[in-house]
Amino acid sequence: LCRELQIQVPFPFSLLCLQVIKCKAAVMWEANKPFSIEEVEVAPPKAHEVRIKIVATGICRSDDHVVTGGLVMPFPIILGHEAAGVVESVGEGVTSIKPGDKVIPLFVPQCGECSNCLSTKGNLCSKSDIDSGAGLMPDGTTRFTCKGKAIHHFVGTSTFTEYTVVHEFAVAKIDSAAPLEKVCLIGCGFSTGYGAAVQTAKVEQGSTCAVFGLGGVGLSVVMGCKAAGASRIIAVDINSDKFAKAKELGATDCINPKDFKKPIHEVLIEMTGGNGVDYSFEVIGRTETMTAALACCQYNYGVSVIVGVPPAAQKITVDPMLLFTGRSWKGSVFGGWKSKDSVPKLVDDYMKKKFVLDPLITHTLPFTKINEGFDLLRTGK
């Protein structure tokens, strides 16, 4: 009987022994309230799922948009989507990842089967939870429980926790030598900004660019424009304290809209001899700056890219002549990268010193000080 039973077990016995893990997580119980450090239960991974021990996670403005209600998600929820960690266990059928692997969770997954994944033109996998905002795993359930209540996931990743569960198509195996506290930024901020320049806009050698917003993503856009060979990179922010870092990473000019009486798009057009910039990037998430970024582009062939997450329930009213004359207006999610394919390559490029990440890291805090981290974000520090 035992021999027959052993033969008939369809997957390794270790998978039958996976246990619920109790760990710390930062739970957001409702909007506009601080994160609460709680003990949560993290269920074992189901078929085609991976449970990850999070080693390092970044704080991104998109997380704060959920806190403030600018990005609508269900509560209670565990936020976080920019991270790196080590695989703790895998569910049945997982073949590409094994326990012990270093990985980066992917808030834009790559299922390899939907029309966007199969197209050379797209990268926003239809399995992504960005559009629906359901806050659940692909099977419609959650792996988190706290105080007897089910806790929602955030864009399939939820990294503000010591352990998380993601689907196999939402995780990328990376170089085992990669420093997780650095490459976690490739999980969102760096890849999103850098890719917006080199992948989405396809900035050209000798071109002129304007970057609205100099947070981590905006600075990564600056780095992408420089890597692509832009001859002039104009950085725009209302916080002049950010200008030194922007110049360090490649900005040639830095301007503060508060220093001018006229609209900022007019200032940029004047700075470029009346032509406007070849490429502009809105990396804030405000409708006013989205339209300003479009208006400052060269009227016939300028390209403007929306990188910042648009605020919920807001609309843009724009003069159609801005587009009729030939300008292009584009959006960019995760820098246009096909995540599962591209993230390991970006990590390899970092290991080969093709770009730097250290300047994007301003503070390193223990997990229990996550609220202090968000205070630093909101005050522009």
Instruction: For 107-131, give the secondary structure using H, E and C.
Output: CCCCCCCCHHHHCCCCCCCCCCCCC
Pairing of strands 163-167, 171-173: unpaired
User: From CA 3, how far away is CA 6, in angstroms rounded?
Assistant: 5
User: Could you say which of 188, 209, 296, 297 is catalytic?
Assistant: 188
Strands, DSSP E only, in 155-284?
A: 163-167, 171-173, 208-212, 232-236, 253-255, 279-282
- Please confirm, yes or no, whether 48 is among the known catalytic residues: no
- The Cα-based distances of 162 to 21, 73, 165, 276, 374 in angstroms read 10, 21, 11, 47, 18
> Hunting for tokens 């991976």 — which residue is that?
50
Q: Residue 180's CB: how many other CB atoms inside 10 A?
A: 18
| Per-residue burial over 190-207, b = 16 or more CB atoms within 10 Å of its CB, e = otherwise | bbbbbbbbbbbbebeeeb
Known catalytic membership, residue 265:
no
DSSP 101: -
- Catalytic residue chosen out of the listed positions 62, 128, 191, 339: 62
Q: Is 60 a catalytic residue?
A: yes
23 is catalytic: no
Q: How many residues comprise the chain?
A: 381
Which residues on adjacent β-strands are paired with residue 84? 56
Is 167 one of the catalytic residues?
Answer: no
Given 14, 36, 60, 117, the catalytic residue:
60
Catalytic entry in 81, 152, 153, 167: 81
- Write out the catalytic residue numbers: 60, 62, 65, 81, 188
